[in-house]
Amino acid sequence: MPVFYGVEVASPLLLGTSQYPSPAVLTEAFRASGAGIATVSLRREAGGGRAGEDFWAIIRELGVRVLPNTAGCHSAREAVTTAQMAREVFGTPWIKLEVIGHTDTLQPDPFALVEAARTLSADGFQVFPYMTEDLVLADRLLDAGCEVLMPWAAPIGTGLGMVNPYGLRALRERFPGVPMVVDAGLGLPSHAGAVMEMGYDAVLLNTAVAKAGDPVAMARAFALAAEAGRLAVGADPMPARSMAAASTPEIGRAFLE
């Protein structure tokens, strides 16, 4: 099972907590998924209100580890401030670091991301940076103090699956000892299975589950797919080949004359 900053997690599936049709569906989906980590956004506008308290009570009842995020931040300074507020509210040094640089694609700003990661790491945070599948950016984030990387498969909420399989495969192979979570863009359980088969440690989902016709069933499907991919890569799969190879041996085969 994945280990992040020395903490072993019970499942290779991380699940977001927004956009569900009701708190009851959110709770049922989490239970069906077996996810050990819930990502949550700091609701600054409801920080002292009843809505925020009720939401936090639901998350506590799930009995999972919380990974706050800096969703919606567009500068390093804003992300750092949000992370500091989240640490006070949720009582954890973990932070999923998002610094958005492009409005349409929600692509991370690599320069601000590294700047914020360095500042937060120096302040005792354990940073999970949301990034693209860029090898140079990965190097810079590791140098900044990150011990986990979270590359996207596709832009947030698109459900496209891996738009750059080569890039994700290269990233995984370049940093074999770094825990990595594929975050954003996965729309089907088969997408989760495919990235796990590449050797990724976990997948993080939100929209694909929360916006499904049956979020509970979809959460279970993603959990099974992620686990299947994890087991498959550990079983040392057969290599792909371009020519056919008979599964029945020629030796001992009966011949008719």
Is 185 annotated to bind ligand?
A: yes
For residue 17, give both structure tokens. 């907590």
3-state class (DSSP) for residue 125: coil
C-alpha distances in Å from residue 141, one per residue of 121, 183, 224, 254: 10, 16, 31, 62
Is 157 marked within a binding site?
A: yes
Q: Is 252 annotated as a binding residue?
A: no
Closest CA to 26 of 180, 166, 215: 215
Q: Which residue(s) pair with 203 in the sheet?
A: 13, 182
161, 153 contact by CB (below 8 A): yes
The Cα angle at residue 227 between residues 158 and 155, in degrees rounded to 5 = 15
Rounded Cα distance, 163 and 20, in Å: 26
Q: Which of 101, 96, 17 is nearest to 59 (CA)?
A: 17
Q: Which of 13, 55, 76, 96 is catalytic?
A: 96
C-beta atoms surrounding 77 within 10 Å = 14
206 is in an annotated binding site: yes
Q: Position of tokens 């699940």?
A: 15
Based on the residue annotation, tell me whether 211 is a catalytic residue of this protein.
no
- The two tokens of residue 245 are 């190879």
> Which residue positions form the known binding site?
157, 184-185, 206-207
> Which residue positions form the known binding site for 1-deoxy-D-xylulose 5-phosphate?
157, 184-185, 206-207
Catalytic residue numbers, as ranges: 96
